[in-house]
Amino acid sequence: MAEKARRVDDALDRALPLRHPERLLASMRYSLLAPGKRVRPVLTLAACELVGGEESTAMPFACAVEMLHVMSLVHDDLPCIDNDELRRGLPSNHVAFGEGVAVLAGDALHCFAFAHAAEATAGVPPMRVLRAVAELGKATGAEGLLAGQVVDIEHFGQTEVGLEVLEYIHLHKTARLLEAAVACGGIIGGAEEEEVERLRRYGRAVGLLFQVVDDVLDVTRTSEELGKTAGKDLAKGKATYPKLMGLEKARLLAEELAAKAEEELQGFDRNIARPLRHLARYIAHRHN
């Protein structure tokens, strides 16, 4: 998996060379190439291989998924949204480049994600590519990630947020893009309909797991360990799993979700599914 992540890093670097206008490209590259876990693009590559596709055919979509993830972070960190000054261990994009450029660099990553996925994917029937493009658009849009983000903002600082709203937020804000990352890998790799559905369920479980663990880490780790501001959820009065169900129950929920994710991998070849199984465990037990 670490090797896959390194290949993603290389592909991202090659896809987006520094060129004119340099300030815009520098801002895009600053956030895109900041050291990251690359969980989403690695999921795309592994899902493609799981259904018998070549890793390389899924690389443009893997890059597109990471670009969309990063652009959402750049915009979320803005003063008018989450107002975060630290991201991946570095000053947030708007701190480094100014708010105006951060807005536009996020937009440019957005455009580039779709252009790159549509143009650089080679050796795959166009119908599959189109379907995966639509999948990404829906996963990140008003039915997906952005729905979660807006509902999150709406409930910001409210004390009566229940588990149901919290789950809505995380299913949309986090799990939907992880689901799409896995689904796109499957679609590009030529998965059967039923395999795509199983991959989706795996992705959704892993996505929710990711968020539950994120919430747990926010209260148990330091900013230095996380590479972003720790304790900010509590400080901001945000609803989190530990806050709503207690730390121990949140940890148990994480275990359940990891088990559910592994379960969905059962009908696939045990050996080829190993990376995805490993990834679910890694996400469950990660420390930052």
Alpha carbon 268 to its chain's center: 23
Which of residues 122 and 235 has its CB atom nearest to a second copy in the complex? 122
CB of 189 to a second copy, least distance (A): 18
Asked if residue 181 lies in contact with residue 41, where contact means CB atoms within 8 angstroms, the answer is: yes
Contact call for residue 206 and a second copy (CB under 8 A) = no
Which of residues 92 and 149 has its CB atom nearest to a second copy in the complex? 149
Asked if residue 131 lies in contact with residue 81, where contact means CB atoms within 8 angstroms, the answer is: no
How would you label 219-238 residue by residue, b for 16+ Cβ within 10 Å and e otherwise?
Answer: beeeeeebbbbbebbeeeeb
CB of 156 to a second copy, least distance (A): 9
Of 149, 174, 211, 240, the residue at the interface with a second copy (CB under 8 A) is: 149
Q: How many helices (H) and strands (E) does the chain have?
A: 16, 2
Which of residues 131 and 201 has its CB atom nearest to a second copy in the complex? 131
At residue 90, φ and ψ (nearest 5 deg) are -125, 160
Asked if residue 172 lies in contact with residue 140, where contact means CB atoms within 8 angstroms, the answer is: no
Contact call for residue 177 and a second copy (CB under 8 A) = no
Asked if residue 219 lies in contact with residue 231, where contact means CB atoms within 8 angstroms, the answer is: yes
Q: Is 197 helix (H, G, I), strand (E, B) or coil?
A: helix
Name the one range near a second copy by CB under 8 A: 40-48, 67-75, 84-92, 276-284. 67-75
Contact call for residue 65 and a second copy (CB under 8 A) = no
The footprint of a second copy on residues 255-274 (CB under 8 A) is none
Tokens, residue 65: 């998924």
> How many residues make contact with a second copy (CB under 8 A)?
52
Which of residues 145 and 265 has its CB atom nearest to a second copy in the complex? 145
Contact call for residue 111 and a second copy (CB under 8 A) = yes
CB of 281 to a second copy, least distance (A): 31
Name the H helices within 121-158.
126-140, 145-154
Q: Is 83 helix (H, G, I), strand (E, B) or coil?
A: coil
Asked if residue 77 lies in contact with residue 84, where contact means CB atoms within 8 angstroms, the answer is: yes
Of 5, 9, 15, 24, the residue at the interface with a second copy (CB under 8 A) is: 24
Site string for a second copy, 71-110 (x = CB under 8 A): xx--x--x-xx----------------xxxx-xx-xxx-x
Kindly list the residues in this chain that would bind a second copy in the complex (CB under 8 A): 20-21, 23-25, 28, 71-72, 75, 78, 80-81, 98-101, 103-104, 106-108, 110-116, 118-119, 125-127, 129-131, 133-134, 136-138, 140-142, 144, 146-147, 149-151, 153-154
